[in-house]
Amino acid sequence: MPAALPVAGNRFVIVGGASLVGSATAGELLDHGAAEVVLFDNFAFGSEQAVAHLKDHPRLRLVRGDVMRLPDLLRATEGAAGLLLLAAYMTLSMDRDPWGGLDVNIRGVQNALEAARANRARKVVFASSNAVYGYGPKVAGELVEDTPFHSVGAPPAAILYGASKIIGEQLCRDYHRRHGLDYVVLRYSTVYGERQHYRAANALYIIETYDRVRRGERPQVFGDGSETKHFVYVGDLARANRMAFEAAATDVAVNCSGPAPITTLELVRLVTRLAGAGGHPAPEPEFVGEEPGKVRLTSGGAFRIAHEAAERAIGWRPLVDMEEGLRRLIAWREGKEGRGAG
């Protein structure tokens, strides 16, 4: 049976849907003719504000439920052709509650896959992370899909998060092997964009820099500013999720990163310039010590998270560069402030 799942005319469930990526992907699927999109969330991290712009759409349904309760998932996924699995604790949340994080990131994935199998869904797209490559010293160059996991010296929460994503990927493989459930794993870089959440340290760095500049304070650069960061615009990721359903690909894991990496110093200077400072010259950044709770993906020179395998597998490549993506994020943020939203 072909693994391609057309979006038009089919029903989709986004598990962990009241989120940055969930809301963007819901809009993408609806725009491409999905018969119905169900956003399944327990609102522990997601919020109704994240999906407020979609709530009146006639083909969107919001279902409150918990991935730790299989009956909730079985009800929500009845009749679904495709499931996007987003629900997860990230590193900052994993640090606060490792037991809860492991439950959601492992048992929650098992529950979602079991619901997909029981209700005869045709395809699952699993949101993984570049954390599956671990943290620590690596040679400069490219991180590709067969780069091994490295854990030496990193904080436990970071390793638990990365390891939980590896296990989630393997659970998808196991369901494919045992039950023929088609799947695609997308390994996200740090996601940023409109309706930005506050759970990813690197994305939070963007917002904190913006806030400092708007308050008239100097932005801060941790370390010497040479550390490489990898971002992907949320609209590009929403497109990747849709294309993963539509592609004939199955039993594959690919990176989804932005067009190019950026150093911390480049990022801060770019946000500072775009944020403006009430017509005054942009302040020069202040160099401070190491970032609190810092987790380095590499300790050495510049590196790139390669995304060519995604183009081969699902026909996707990133289209929005960092400057344009930040313009969109800042425009959303300023519009939100202008409306007096919290």
Alpha helices in 217-262 (DSSP H): 234-246
H or E element that contains 270 = helix 264-275
Residue 136 pLDDT = 65
Buried b (16+ CB within 10 A) or exposed e, 1-19: eebebebeebbbbbbbbbb
Global pTM reads 0.92
**pLDDT attached to residue 222:** 80
pLDDT digits (tens, 9 = 90+) for 306-340: 999 999 999 999 999 999 999 999 998 888 654 44
Q: How far apart are CA 289 and CA 276, in angstroms?
A: 25
Q: What is the pLDDT tens value at each position of the chain, 342 positions in all? A: 678 999 999 999 999 999 999 999 999 999 999 999 999 999 887 667 778 888 889 999 999 999 999 999 999 999 999 999 999 999 889 999 999 999 999 999 999 999 999 999 999 999 999 999 988 655 457 889 999 998 888 889 999 999 999 999 999 999 999 999 999 999 999 999 988 766 556 677 888 888 888 888 888 888 888 888 899 999 999 999 999 999 999 999 999 999 999 998 999 999 998 987 555 666 788 887 665 545 555 444 567 899 999 999 999 999 999 999 999 999 988 886 544 443
* pLDDT value, residue 342: 36
**How far is the C-alpha of 333 from the C-alpha of 327, rounded, in Å?**
10
| Backbone phi, psi, residue 319, to 5° | -115, -25
For the chain, domains (ranges, CATH) are 11-132+151-192+231-257 (3.40.50.720)
In the chain, beta strands by DSSP E: 11-15, 36-41, 60-64, 82-85, 123-129, 141-143, 182-188, 190-192, 220-222, 228-229, 231-233, 252-256, 262-263, 286-288, 303-305
Q: Is 82 left (phi over 0), alpha (psi -120 to 50) or beta?
A: beta
Supply the pLDDT for residue 223: 82
For the four alpha carbons of 100, 102, 108 and 114, in that order, the dihedral sign comes to: negative
pLDDT at 300: 47
The β-bridge partners of 106 are none
Instruction: Please name which of 15, 46, 191 lies closest in space to residue 119, comparing C-alpha atoms.
Output: 15
The string of pLDDT tens digits covering residues 37-69 is 999 999 887 667 778 888 889 999 999 999 999
Q: What is the DSSP track for 17-44?
A: -SSHHHHHHHHHHHHTT-SEEEEEE-SS
pLDDT digits over 11-32, tens only?
Answer: 999 999 999 999 999 999 999 9
